[in-house]
């Protein structure tokens, strides 16, 4: 509770990583690793705050990238020189990008047969120690929160289909890759694992590794970690194969905040508070998924006596974070603390409208607040020309 007091005194807007919570999440990953013997990678698409990597690298085996710069970031900041993995997948590589990725990655995953056929020789020649993976579409829709995040949705562009996995193709690869979940609980992890085991047994016996992707929400209170552990143990026993998991969101779930200040309060049928953070630029998933972030000490709309629409500080009419209620009226200058703001937040930021980017900070276990980075006009200008 003390640390919340600290957050009410800082300059806003600011993303604040909570190291105690990160460590709690790492403990869950550590347990799965110890009990099953799997590798666990951080999907940096969800969380690329490299100043926090030192608190993660003792547990995790490396990073998994979705593109060129994430691959370089992982190689540069996640325990460089400590033998950490960098896995890189992209829906499609150019030859130039692939060559650069190979400088940083010891695992490359192709999304299609044509990319594999075009580039597998290049990978073997340029980086003989690198493993080649192929993404497979298991054709099993398990994502419930949004079709936008279901890799098995109709006409999905992700991964090859089961009938494309000929022996000739399997000879070219070392790993099969199944990323098919998003914020799913253990029953869906288990359904996926059973489905893969039953439908891809032949292919799995010809490769040496399998990557079961991300989206396993292992740190969520309702996620039955024992169920996952038992399922993975059984899977490994049957298939005698090395397993990798690459969660992103789960590793930083509920592990930090976006701290903002009320700038103005107006009224148009409802009370509207305008804050110095924005859904559009600072938490785009609020609009994209969409979802409603929690604010500490707030209630649902009309649940508590004082009700407000919360609006962001951009010109976009739809930059509304949601309708919230509070025990006491909001005032200009009040601090609002959004929770669970480490995943898919600052990695997706924009400087639309010239709105400043929030600070990036750390709340240490002893309550010390560390400002890691403050952005300026130069960061805005540098992305324009």
Sole window of 39-47, 50-58, 164-172, 260-268 interacting with ligand PLP (rule: CB under 6 A): 39-47
**Does 215 help bind ligand PLP (rule: CB under 6 A)?**
yes
CB of 262 to ligand PLP, least distance (A): 31
Residue of 45, 72, 131, 220 that binds ligand PLP (CB under 6 A): 45
12 or 64: CB nearest ligand PLP: 64
Q: Which of 74, 138, 159, 248 binds ligand PLP (CB under 6 A)?
A: 248
3-state secondary structure of 6: helix
Contacts of 142 (CB under 8 A, 6+ apart): 150, 152, 180, 181, 184, 188, 191, 192
Residue burial 142-165, b: 16+ Cβ < 10 Å; e: rest: bbeeeeebbbbeeeeebbbeeeeb
**Of 43 and 175, which has the nearer Cβ to ligand PLP?**
43
* Interaction between residue 249 and ligand PLP (CB under 6 A): yes
Query: Coil, strand, or helix at residue 380?
Result: helix
In 253-333, alpha helices (H): 279-282, 285-288
Check binding of 293 to ligand PLP (CB under 6 A).
no
For residue 245, cis peptide bond before it (omega within 30 degrees of 0) = no
Our measurement of the distance from residue 171's CA atom to the centroid of its chain's CA atoms, rounded to an integer in Å, reads 31
N-terminal to C-terminal alpha carbon distance within the chain: 45
74 binds ligand PLP (CB under 6 A): no
> What size, in residues, is the chain?
385
Looking up tokens 């400088």 gives: 103
Position among 16, 19, 38, 43 found at the interface with ligand PLP (CB under 6 A): 43
Q: How far is the CB of 209 from ligand PLP (least distance, A)?
A: 15
Verify binding: residue 160, ligand PLP, rule CB under 6 A.
Answer: no
Helices (H), the chain: 2-7, 19-36, 68-77, 95-104, 113-126, 167-170, 186-199, 201-206, 225-239, 279-282, 285-288, 377-382
Residue 375 CB, shortest distance to ligand PLP, in Å, is: 24
Figure out which of the listed residues 57, 77, 107, 179 binds ligand PLP, where binding follows CB under 6 A: 179
Q: Which of 90, 182, 337, 342 binds ligand PLP (CB under 6 A)?
A: 182
Backbone angles phi, psi at 142, to 5 degrees: -125, -10
Q: Which of 22, 40, 42, 46 touches ligand PLP by CB under 6 A?
A: 46
Asked if 38 touches ligand PLP (CB under 6 A), the answer is no
At its nearest, how many Å lie between ligand PLP and the CB of residue 87?
9
Taking CB under 6 A as the criterion, the residue among 213, 284, 293, 358 binding ligand PLP is 213
Structure tokens at 374: 């403050």
Closest distance between ligand PLP and the C-beta of residue 43, in Å?
A: 4
Binding of residue 310 to ligand PLP (CB under 6 A): no
Looking only at the bridges linking them, the beta strands covering 175-177 and 131-135 are parallel
- Rule CB under 6 A: is residue 214 a binding residue for ligand PLP? yes
Residues that bind ligand PLP (CB under 6 A): 43, 45-46, 64, 89, 179, 182, 213-215, 246-250
């Amino acid at each position: 509770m003390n640390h919340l007091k600290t957050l009410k005194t800082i300059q806003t807007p600011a993303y604040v990583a909570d190291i105690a919570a990160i460590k709690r999440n790492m403990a869950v990953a550590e347990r799965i690793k110890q009990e099953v013997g799997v590798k666990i990678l951080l999907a940096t698409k969800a969380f690329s705050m490299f100043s926090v990597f030192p608190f993660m690298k003792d547990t995790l085996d490396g990073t998994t990238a979705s593109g060129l710069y994430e691959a370089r970031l992982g190689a540069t900041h996640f325990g460089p020189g400590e033998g950490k993995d960098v896995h890189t997948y992209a829906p499609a590589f150019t030859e130039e990008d692939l060559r650069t990725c190979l400088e940083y990655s010891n695992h490359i995953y192709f999304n299609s047969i044509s990319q594999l056929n075009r580039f597998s020789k290049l990978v073997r020649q340029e980086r003989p120690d690198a493993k080649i993976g192929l993404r497979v579409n298991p054709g099993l829709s398990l994502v419930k929160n949004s079709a936008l995040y279901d890799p098995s949705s109709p006409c999905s562009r992700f991964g090859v289909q089961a009938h494309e996995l000929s022996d000739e193709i399997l000879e070219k690869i070392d790993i099969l890759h199944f990323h098919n979940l998003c914020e799913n609980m253990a029953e869906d992890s288990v359904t996926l694992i059973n489905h893969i085991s039953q439908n891809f047994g032949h292919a799995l016996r010809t490769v040496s590794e399998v990557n079961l992707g991300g989206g396993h929400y292992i740190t969520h209170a309702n996620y039955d970690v024992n169920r996952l552990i038992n399922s993975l143990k059984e899977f490994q026993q049957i298939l005698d194969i090395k397993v990798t998991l690459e969660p992103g969101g789960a590793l930083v779930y509920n592990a930090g905040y976006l701290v903002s200040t009320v700038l103005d309060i107006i009224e148009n049928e409802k009370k509207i508070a305008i804050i110095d953070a924005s859904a559009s630029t600072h938490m785009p998933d609020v609009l994209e998924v969409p979802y409603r972030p929690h604010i500490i000490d707030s209630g649902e709309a009309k649940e508590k006596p004082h009700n407000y629409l919360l609006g962001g500080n951009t010109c976009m009419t739809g930059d509304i974070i949601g309708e919230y209620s509070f025990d006491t009226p909001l005032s200009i200058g009040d601090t609002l603390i959004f929770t669970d703001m480490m995943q898919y937040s600052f990695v997706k930021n924009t400087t639309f409208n010239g709105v400043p980017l929030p600070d990036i900070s750390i709340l240490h276990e002893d309550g010390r607040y560390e400002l890691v980075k403050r952005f300026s006009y130069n960061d805005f200008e540098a992305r324009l020309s």
